[in-house]
Amino acid sequence: MHPDLIREFIAEFHREMDKERRESAAGRVEAERALVKITREIENILTAITEGMFHPSMKAKMDALEAQKAGLEAKLAALPAPSP
> pLDDT for 6-56, tens place per residue?
888 888 889 988 888 887 788 888 999 999 999 999 999 999 999 999 889
pLDDT band at 83, cuts 50/70/90? low
Q: What is the pTM of this model?
A: 0.71
Element holding 46 (H helix, E strand): helix 3-50
Task: Write the DSSP string, 60-79.
Answer: HHHHHHHHHHHHHHHHHHHS
**Residue 54 to residue 62: CA distance in whole angstroms:** 12
**Residue 54 to residue 24: CA distance in whole angstroms:** 40
The model's pLDDT over 1-15, given as tens digits with 9 standing for 90+, comes to 688 888 888 888 899
